[in-house]
Amino acid sequence: MIKQVAAIRYAKAYFAHCQYTNSTEEVVIESENLIEILSNNSNLYKTLKNKIVPNQTKKKILLSICGNVSENLESFIEMLVRKNRLDLFNDILNQFIELYKTSSGIETCYLTSAHKTTSNIEENLRFLIKKITKNKIKIINIVDKDLIGGFIIKVGDVQFDNSVSSTLSKLKTTLKKENTFI
């Protein structure tokens, strides 16, 4: 909990700095790329979290993997090294992106389905949700073979589950209530 609070504070300060320097869009793109790199490379993620690995080593590894990053991001990484907070790097980037989405009026829609959805379906969904929320919609498609079919849509606190696995589970529960022999 304490680390989460610290990550939010660093993200807010970094976001304010990026707004001041008019580099928010550029840093958001870099942050999304870095989050993807960290999520696809568990060893790198573990290295950043590891207290035994020196911060200067973490910094060198991170900057070598990132390639050319903006001066803003590089100085932010250096500041995290000085403050011994590089273990919060991924959390800070995630909070930074959430702050950006909130300030830009962007709502994230998580669309979970058994198969990758087409762009036509995503556009129709984006249109329908935008009518309700009045925000820009970013759709993140998650493929989960366990759903069998159908989909789950989650926007903010609201979730709509129209998956085959959920329907089968509800049917099983209903049958158990009605018939004690199952």
What CATH number does residue 13 fall under?
Answer: 1.10.520.20
Kindly indicate the confidence band of residue 182, based on its pLDDT and cuts at 50, 70 and 90: low
Tokens standing for residue 158: 């609201």
Distance CA 40, CA 48 (A): 14
Is there a single domain that holds both residue 112 and residue 174?
yes
- Strands annotated E in the chain: 106-113, 136-143, 150-155, 158-163
pLDDT digits (tens, 9 = 90+) for 21-68: 999 999 999 999 888 888 888 888 888 888 898 888 888 888 888 778
Give the count of domains, the chain. 2
Question: Domain containing 115: what range?
Answer: 106-178
Amino acid at 51: K
Distance CA 29, CA 73 (A): 11
Is there a single domain that holds both residue 96 and residue 112?
no
pTM for this prediction: 0.70
Is there a single domain that holds both residue 10 and residue 83?
yes
Closest-CA residue to 165 (of 113, 121, 116, 111): 113
Is there a single domain that holds both residue 113 and residue 139?
yes
Is there a single domain that holds both residue 15 and residue 86?
yes
